[in-house]
Structure 1
Amino acid sequence: MFAVTNRSYIAVLLHLFSWLLFAFVLLFHQPLSWNIHVPFEFWVKQSCVLLMLIIVFYMNSQLFVPRLLLKNKILIYVLVILVIAVLAGPLIKMVDNALNLPGLMDRAFSEIGIQRPPKRSGRIDVFLLMMTLFMVGISTSVTLIRKWQADQQGREALEKEKIASELSFLKAQINPHFFFNTLNNIYALTHVDIEKSRKALHKLSRMMRYLLYETQTGSTPISKEISFIVDYIELMKLRLNGLTTVVFEEPVLKYDPPIAPMLFLPYIENAFKYGVSTTEPSVIAIVIELKGNELSMTIKNRVFNNYAETADGYGGIGLSNTKRRLELLYPGRHNFSAYETAGPAEFIVHLNLVLDDTELHSSR
């Protein structure tokens, strides 16, 4: 609230300063250079002119532009402005006559031996007409610029809100997907080894604590994400037989930049889902590297015949959502590829992220 009040205060001061500058340059500077005793009534008249221009400025800004021009009532708007500009002269002339200003000004000039040329009656005050139209032009321009800025900010706010909502929805889909898959694995493990199932539940509780409390800000240090991946891999190892070998190469972290959480897990989860066999040997290789501002992940795993169709399609709610998150969070700063090699069938996933300067500097 303080910030809004402070901005309003600055806006009022800016308007006040602009009007004072305008009044001095166009209304008061020239009379002061005449080197005569200007009657007080003249300053009253100039103040009335200034007041009229101020009224025209804000009526146009707050009333005519929003209710006529912005609603495509252009002809009515133009007619209203022309009527105001034409009526400005007679109104000021009434002020002149009420103050007896022509006679007072003639007397002031005659005191220094100068006779002013007489003004023709009924003649339109071109200067006042142009000044009125000038005020209308400035007022219209300022109002349209402010309207454009407000619309632009509104569009940006809506876009950010849309993206934030979509990211929250995608993340909410990924986490339950992972959670239920893992619970199914632990349930199967309880029939084989109670002790291993207890260790698995302990790791799962630690992982869920990370998901609930460490990822709510939209970013997490890469070190915590790596620890989460290590826990997940260890959890998956509990259900593997001796035919599957898991190799995980962690990055050497000289600094700890923040990244979007849960970006790597769906691809790792996919490797354990489709790269494990109960009858054939297999290797799951996971490599994560951080070099400069580039973060990369490479996953290689066997593709067995009974899973080949699903793996080729690369389906699954977690994978599709992760690719959508990449488009939203790292637009133009990520590269993703997934393909299958020929015999023996091996599926390779590669993801490369380019971290921006803000992410790097915040970690150093």
Structure 2
Amino acid sequence: MLCIVLLLLSPLSWRMGEVELPMQFWWKQIFLVVLLISIFYSNVSFIVPKILLKGKNYLYLLIVILGAVLTYGIIIYFEQFIHYPEKMHQVFNPDKPFDPNRGRWLPGDIFQLMLYMVSIGLSTSLALVQKWQKDEALRRELDRQRINTELSYLKAQINPHFFFNTLNNIYALTNLDVKKAQEALLKLSRMMRYVLYENQKNETLLSKEVKFIEDYIELMKMRMTEKVKLTIQIEEPKEDLVIAPMLLLPFLENCFKHGVSSQQESEILIKLEVMGETVFFETRNHIFPVNPESPEAKENGIGLVNTQRRLSLLYPDKHRLKFGKDESSHQYWVNLTINLA
């Protein structure tokens, strides 16, 4: 497009009066177009990738300078071949004899060398941008593969962690109430179906995740005594929002693992609100010491650590997670906000 504007359309605007430009003039313009296009794509396809991007800067600079000299020589040879100077002299100076030894028109030569430099500059810029885009696409692909691999590893850690705790609870129920244990197994089978099918996806409906949370809470309630005051405030999502599966489970596990005591009274709060495309999740529970010899104590909070990592990978700059211990009430609290837009 640049060649067409500068070399073909531009001369049409400065034709003086009724002066008819000779055919040799248009032959030269077309030749310059072909020459500059050849220089442009040779630089993009070969010289920049094979020389400049390989770190051979001085060799590239030498080739550009030699290319300018060669281009200038080719233009002069072509002009002599088609008798361009003579024909142009006959048009603009018909009353004067043509002198073949007369010097060249310097502004015209400078303009042609500037066209060469513009072609080199644009083609070099294009080649560098293409290289940057290719490297950026490769980097994104590597990041995507790394994130998918890491997320698969993290989810693989969370699943055994969840089943380990749940099966321990059912095992404890078998010694107290066989019927409750059977009901717990039924709920667990429904939850396993969710884990097997939904957890293999990157996203699931928030409504399904909420149903999974409710089933888990019902399962935990079966082993709780009257000493535990359980407050559940879960809002059913109205829109078809999607969320990473089993993202909230580790927070619930920690509530029931650390917030339940068979000897002391305790409170557990689980709250989930949905406002537009934002989910607000909150938990509060008392903290009771865990048997240091139990498997739970040796896990060192693997579920929470992995969930923090999943949040940073899946919802960068779209989530806010705060947690801590309230010394006055001896309660552990978690506040999580996720923008699911």
TM-score (norm 2): 0.84
Q: What residue number does 2:75 align with?
A: 92
Take 1:33 and 1:169, find their aligned partners in 2: how far apart are those partners? Answer: 76
1:221 equivalenced with 2:170 (yes/no): no
Shift of 1:19: 4.0
Shift of 1:256: 5.0
Change (3 A) 1:115 1:136: farther
DSSP 3-state at the match of 1:125: helix
Take 1:212 and 1:122, find their aligned partners in 2: how far apart are those partners? Answer: 81
Counterparts of 1:122-271 in structure 2 under 5 Å?
A: 125-251=109-235, 253-271=237-255
Take 2:149 and 2:17, find their aligned partners in 1: how far apart are those partners? Answer: 67
Q: Which 5+ residue runs of structure 2 have no aligned equivalent?
A: none
Paired residue type of 2:222 = L
Q: What residue number does 2:51 align with?
A: 68
Take 1:307 and 1:221, find their aligned partners in 2: how far apart are those partners? Answer: 37
DSSP 3-state at the match of 2:19: coil
DSSP 3-state at the match of 1:131: helix
Counterparts of 1:3-152 in structure 2 under 5 Å?
A: 17-25=1-9, 28-29=11-12, 32-33=15-16, 35-109=18-92, 113=95, 119-120=102-103, 125-152=109-136
Percentage identity across paired residues of the two chains: 39
Q: What residue number does 2:327 align with?
A: 341
Shift of 1:184: 2.9
Take 1:275 and 1:306, find their aligned partners in 2: how far apart are those partners? Answer: 10
Take 1:208 and 1:22, find their aligned partners in 2: how far apart are those partners? Answer: 70
Q: Is the 8 A contact 1:285 1:301 kept in 2?
A: yes
Paired residue type of 2:310 = R
Change (3 A) 1:77 1:106: same
Q: Which 5+ residue runs of structure 1 have no aligned equivalent?
A: 1-16, 360-364
Q: Is the 8 A contact 1:288 1:296 kept in 2?
A: yes
Q: What residue number does 1:362 align with?
A: none
Take 2:127 and 2:8, find their aligned partners in 1: how far apart are those partners? Answer: 24
TM-score (norm 1): 0.80
Q: Is the 8 A contact 1:109 1:115 kept in 2?
A: no
Change (3 A) 1:161 1:33: farther
Take 1:168 and 1:347, find their aligned partners in 2: how far apart are those partners? Answer: 32
Q: Is the 8 A contact 1:31 1:38 kept in 2?
A: no
